[in-house]
């Protein structure tokens, strides 16, 4: 059994849905958990200490260890306070699961700048800020596990979610660079692109999805990714309904010519669009251009 005894985990947005499920699973397996949740509505308005406190009550009742925190991940003060809460209560930070999220769906032409910025602030800035607040403790310990929460909407696009898609693809970039930078300090970072039945999706998914797409089926992957035995870093995984798959950013083999013109491109467009063999790194991409 993968256990987390003596590990300290910060889980953001853990008052509801996926984060709550991650917190319950890690606590059940021995982790000391900081249950962070601002406690607002789905669009990020409002705040309440209630949801985080309720999850902590449940963990404690089951014999686990956790503290509640209602700070905002999207502000530097909030992120620092979350990390400090972990240090004050448990003395270290081994794990950060950046899960907090909001939705402000609008079709692109109608999307107000506040809705664009507001969504990026929670998902992207929040994940950056909380990870960075925890980073010095992880570096000092030579150990850390970070999971960022992307989305199929970011990887593949979705109508009405230009803000959310931008944010969720941004988290793929953050994860890849954290994977590279963290390697020298024993810090691994991965991202998940989940599907689960939560308050965020219950009005979007067909009713029959509720039983299959449980948050617990996503938490199983998160637990593996934040365990010390986790193999990958800098990777993205699609997860939902009991299925897990690697998602990878790849470049096709490409088509090249020393005399590239709009016309020669048009004539060779099928070769430009070819997918395999894949090029999987910036270095290999550069080599293919030489």
In the complex, the residues that contact ligand NAD under the rule CB under 6 A are 12-13, 15-19, 36-40, 42, 44, 51, 72-74, 99-102, 122, 126, 149, 151, 194-196, 198-201
CB of residue 43 vs ligand NAD: minimum separation in angstroms?
9
CB of residue 290 vs ligand NAD: minimum separation in angstroms?
39
Q: What share of the chain is helix, strand, coil (3-state, %, to 5)?
A: 45, 15, 40
Asked whether 115 and 74 are in contact (CB, 8 A), the reply is no
How far is residue 53's CA from residue 49's CA, in Å, rounded to a whole number?
6
- Return the number of the residue (121 or 279) whose C-beta is nearest ligand NAD: 121
End-to-end CA distance of the chain: 49
- Return the number of the residue (215 or 234) whose C-beta is nearest ligand NAD: 215
- Return the number of the residue (97 or 279) whose C-beta is nearest ligand NAD: 97
CB of residue 202 vs ligand NAD: minimum separation in angstroms?
9
- Return the number of the residue (101 or 144) whose C-beta is nearest ligand NAD: 101
CB of residue 84 vs ligand NAD: minimum separation in angstroms?
15
Active site residues: 164
Asked whether 9 and 33 are in contact (CB, 8 A), the reply is yes
How far is residue 56's CA from residue 50's CA, in Å, rounded to a whole number?
10
CB of residue 37 vs ligand NAD: minimum separation in angstroms?
5
- Return the number of the residue (18 or 279) whose C-beta is nearest ligand NAD: 18
Q: Which residues of 69-102 are buried (b: 16+ CB within 10 A; e: fewer)?
A: bbbbbbeeebbebbbebbeeebebbbbbbbbbbb
Asked whether 28 and 62 are in contact (CB, 8 A), the reply is yes
Which element (helix H / strand E) includes 81?
helix 76-90
How far is residue 93's CA from residue 33's CA, in Å, rounded to a whole number?
10
């Amino acid at each position: 059994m993968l256990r987390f005894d003596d590990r300290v985990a910060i889980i953001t947005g853990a008052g509801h849905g996926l984060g709550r499920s991650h917190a319950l699973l890690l606590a059940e397996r021995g982790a000391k958990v900081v249950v962070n949740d601002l406690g607002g509505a789905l669009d990020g308005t409002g705040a309440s200490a209630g949801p985080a406190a309720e999850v902590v009550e449940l963990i404690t009742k089951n014999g686990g260890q956790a503290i509640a925190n209602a700070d905002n991940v999207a502000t530097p003060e909030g992120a620092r306070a979350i990390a400090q809460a972990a240090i004050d209560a448990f003395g270290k930070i081994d794990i950060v699961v950046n899960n907090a999220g909001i939705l402000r769906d609008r079709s692109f032409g109608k999307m107000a700048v506040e809705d664009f910025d507001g969504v990026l602030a929670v998902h992207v800035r929040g994940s950056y800020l909380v990870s960075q607040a925890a980073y010095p403790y992880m570096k000092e310990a030579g150990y850390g596990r970070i999971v960022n929460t992307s989305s199929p909407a970011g990887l593949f696009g979705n109508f009405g979610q230009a803000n959310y898609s931008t944010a969720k693809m941004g988290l793929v970039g953050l994860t890849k660079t954290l994977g590279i930078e963290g390697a020298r300090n024993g810090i691994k970072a991965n991202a998940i692109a989940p599907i689960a039945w939560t308050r965020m999706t219950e009005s979007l998914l067909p009713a029959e999805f509720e039983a299959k797409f449980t948050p617990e089926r996503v938490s199983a992957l998160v637990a593996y990714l934040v365990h010390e035995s986790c193999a990958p870093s800098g990777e993205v995984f699609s997860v939902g309904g009991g299925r897990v798959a690697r998602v990878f950013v790849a470049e096709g083999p490409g088509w090249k010519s020393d005399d590239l013109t709009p016309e020669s491109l048009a004539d060779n467009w099928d070769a430009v669009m070819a997918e395999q063999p894949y090029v999987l790194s910036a270095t290999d991409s550069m080599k293919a251009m030489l």
